[in-house]
Amino acid sequence: SSNQMWGGRFAAGPDAIMEAINASIGFDKRLAAQDIAGSRAHAAMLAATGILSDSDAKAIREGLLTVLSEIEDGSFEFSTALEDIHMNVEARLKELIGDAAGRLHTGRSRNDQVATDFRLWVRDQLDAADAGLVALIRALLAQAEAGADWVMPGFTHLQTAQPVTWGHHMMAYVEMFGRDLSRVRDARARMNESPLGAAALAGTGFPVDREMTAQALGFDRPMANSLDAVSARDFALEFLSVASISAMHLSRFAEELVIWSSAQFRFVTLSDRFSTGSSIMPQKKNPDAAELIRAKIGRIFGANVALMMVMKGLPLAYSKDMQEDKEQVFDAADNWMLALAAMEGMVRDMSANTSALEAAAAAGFSTATDLADWLVRETGLPFREAHHVTGSLVAMAERKGCDLSELTLEEMVSVKDTITNDVFDVLGVHNSVASRTSYGGTAPARVRQQVARWKEILE
Ligand code: ARG
């Protein structure tokens, strides 16, 4: 039989394969609450503008609430023949209230309907990401505050570079996730315009009030161009881009946690709550949550690229290709939220092994720069020469198999006769970090300042 929604023009129903490739109800049922909110706003507006009678609008708005409760309590029967969430909801509404249901779609198309639903859904996810990022930042602040003066190695090329503080390392991620948070908020502000009332593509001759529906749905304003309103998916792409950048940060941190929790590093102990064991090796405690964050991030990048590919060749306005936007965004959103929550849990629970951190901080001649700086400051040597002298001292210590601080004053003087006993003060890792007081530097005093600043920002 022909389709009950557009059967007028059709003599035959769709092939089973057609139905399978066409239907989106399997995934877009996740838009049910947004779809019903959009339809209720639309119906109220139709009544307010005199396009629909008050009694029809009332029946529609109440019927839609019944549909919503059926969906929420699981009694709603979704039908693939009805294609998508919009048709499923409207068909059920018709069963419940009769012919008035057929008036709901006045001055509207599924094109502006789906664009509205999807914007509302993505907006909720941006709000969830906002909350997830704030929670993660708070967990990092707690770590930074506890360990503002614990020393650890700072790396470049994953080779020991200079000592830094644990708090400083945590605060580096606070800055990154803080920028993610600001990107989330920017994206939300930019996408918060209503497509509803754009109808199929050209607008409508009915005297709709787009300001009214925009306001009812929490949008800042209606979108200014009806073609754009139904064609645009840059809001979804921006969501995926923001998610991808944030996911990249999560993945870098996850990678560090995998390294730090290894027996070779022992910088941190992850809690049992965020680790797993091995079925064969009794000693094992694996950082699975960190590894899965690192891995799931690939799906978010993939979704971003996939939707770019879907969109890049589409002429205006709506094409059915755009139905493929949803699964990518759903999957990316689910995995981003999960990764944020898992990272927050791991960060809250992890304990730093301060003695291992400090031992590692001193290894690898990490205070060589401090020695060179001392030569510049105390003996007036140009930095390039000081660099050379220090290099010779490092080579000497390496030959002896000792640390810079374990060279004797005589050995030092044999390389540069202006060196005095005072030099040993700067070779200790605590003095090293305490001396890095430049704005944004690793000195504990600077780290505490930044922690206080962020607490204020999050107030
Ligand atoms: N299920 C469709 C989607 O997700 C709804 C819009 C259908 N519009 C159309 N002209 N066929 O994109």
Per-residue pLDDT of the chain (459 residues; tens, 9 = 90+): 567 677 788 888 888 999 999 999 999 999 999 999 999 999 999 999 999 999 999 999 999 999 999 999 999 999 999 999 999 999 999 999 999 999 999 999 999 999 999 999 999 999 999 999 999 999 999 999 999 999 999 999 999 999 999 999 999 999 999 999 999 999 999 999 999 999 999 999 999 999 999 999 999 999 999 999 999 999 999 999 999 999 999 999 999 999 999 999 999 999 888 888 877 787 778 899 999 999 999 999 999 999 999 999 999 999 999 999 999 999 999 999 999 999 999 999 999 999 999 999 988 898 999 999 999 999 999 999 999 999 999 999 999 999 899 999 999 999 999 999 999 989 989 999 999 999 999 999 999 999 999 999 999
The CA–CA distances, whole Å, from 53 to 36, 46, 103, 283 equal 19, 8, 10, 73
* Per-residue model confidence (pLDDT) at position 6: 73
Residue 293 and residue 298: Cα distance in Å, rounded? 9
Structure tokens at 50: 């005199």
Residue 17 and residue 12: Cα distance in Å, rounded? 14
Residue 205 and residue 224: Cα distance in Å, rounded? 16
Task: Name the one residue in this structure whose structure tokens are 């996730």.
Answer: 177
Residue 142 and residue 345: Cα distance in Å, rounded? 12
> What is the residue-wise DSSP string for 56-75?
HHHHHHHHHHHHHHHHHTT-
Probe residue for ligand 1, chosen from 19, 320, 325, 326 as the CB with the greatest number of ligand atoms within 8 Å: 320
Name the closest-CA residue to atom 7, ligand 1: 110
Which secondary-structure segment (H or E) carries 152? strand 151-156
Residue 131 and residue 118: Cα distance in Å, rounded? 20
Probe residue for ligand 1, chosen from 79, 86, 111 as the CB with the greatest number of ligand atoms within 8 Å: 111
Asked whether the beta carbons of 120 and 217 are under 8 A apart, the reply is yes
Whole-prediction pTM value? 0.94
Atom in ligand 1 nearest the alpha carbon of residue 84: 1
- DSSP E strands in 334-418: the ranges are 351-352
Predicted interface score ipTM higher than 0.85:
yes
Residue 351 three-state SS: strand
Probe residue for ligand 1, chosen from 114, 121, 201, 310 as the CB with the greatest number of ligand atoms within 8 Å: 114
Residue 458 β-bridge partners:
none
Residue 301 and residue 247: Cα distance in Å, rounded? 8
Cis peptide before 434 (omega within 30 of 0): no
Angle at 112 between CA 111 and CA 114, to 5 degrees: 70
* Per-residue model confidence (pLDDT) at position 2: 62
Alpha-carbon torsion angle 177, 181, 184, 189, nearest 10: -160
Residue 442 and residue 167: Cα distance in Å, rounded? 8
Q: Active-site residue numbers?
A: 157, 278
Atom in ligand 1 nearest the alpha carbon of residue 318: 10
Task: Name the one residue in this structure whose structure tokens are 């394969």.
Answer: 17
Residue 421 and residue 306: Cα distance in Å, rounded? 63
Residue 116 and residue 158: Cα distance in Å, rounded? 47
The CA–CA distances, whole Å, from 307 to 112, 191, 223, 300 equal 19, 17, 22, 11
Reduce the secondary structure of 194-256 to three states and give it as a string: ECCCCCCCCCCCCCCCHHHHHHHCCCCEECCCHHHHHHCCHHHHHHHHHHHHHHHHHHHHHHH
Asked whether the beta carbons of 238 and 187 are under 8 A apart, the reply is yes
Show Cβ contacts of residue 420 under 8 Å, excluding neighbours closer than 6 positions: 378, 409
* Per-residue model confidence (pLDDT) at position 1: 52
Identify the residues whose C-beta falls under 6 Å from ligand 1: 24, 28, 84, 110-111, 114, 318, 320, 322-323
Asked whether the beta carbons of 445 and 169 are under 8 A apart, the reply is no
* Per-residue model confidence (pLDDT) at position 25: 97
Asked whether the beta carbons of 249 and 294 are under 8 A apart, the reply is no
Question: How many angstroms separate the alpha carbon of residue 111 from the centre of ligand 1?
Answer: 6
Name the closest-CA residue to atom 4, ligand 1: 323
Show Cβ contacts of residue 260 under 8 Å, excluding neighbours closer than 6 positions: 267, 268
Asked whether the beta carbons of 136 and 344 are under 8 A apart, the reply is yes
